[in-house]
């Protein structure tokens, strides 16, 4: 199975098992970096978190499929997030929280091939920067 299919299959399994993944992903993110939770104080209904998560999934899928949309979106979002006080070194932490949530959900279905595919995916996503 090619890496794109490995990523897509892991995300599909995750979605099937978790339903709404946002609470778990954000709990993982805030547990690792509690200082980021304050950035969401105005997001009382979770809409911003949900939108951000959907965009992150769209970008990860685009990167996995070899698209070009994620490069532009992630580059622009890196710049936008600086204005929110998110330093460069914390921007990609969100993708790690997604990966770790997928990994926890897949449990024994997370294989060495899955791990390698996600490692390469996150490395590619981290390379996106605003021109």
d(CA 52, CA 81): 11
pTM: 0.93
19: left (phi over 0), alpha (psi -120 to 50) or beta: left
Q: What pLDDT was estimated at residue 52? A: 94
Could you read off the pLDDT of 91-129 as tens digits, one per residue? 899 999 999 999 999 999 999 999 999 999 999 999 876
CATH of domain 3-34+46-126: 1.10.490.10
d(CA 45, CA 42): 9
Exposed/middle/buried for residue 26 (C-beta within 10 Å: 0-12, 13-18, 19+): buried
């Amino acid at each position: 199975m090619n890496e794109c299919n490995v990523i897509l299959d892991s995300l599909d399994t995750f979605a099937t098992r978790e339903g709404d993944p946002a609470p778990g992903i954000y709990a993982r993110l805030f547990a690792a970096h509690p200082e980021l939770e304050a950035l969401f104080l105005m997001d009382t209904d979770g809409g911003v978190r949900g939108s951000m998560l959907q965009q992150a999934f769209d970008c990860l899928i685009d990167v996995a499929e070899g698209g070009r949309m994620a490069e532009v979106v992630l580059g622009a979002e890196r710049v936008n997030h600086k204005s929110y006080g998110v330093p460069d070194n914390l921007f990609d932490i969100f993708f790690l929280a997604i990966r770790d949530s997928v990994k926890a959900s897949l449990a024994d279905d997370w294989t060495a091939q899955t791990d390698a595919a996600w490692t390469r995916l996150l490395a590619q996503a981290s390379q996106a920067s605003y021109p």
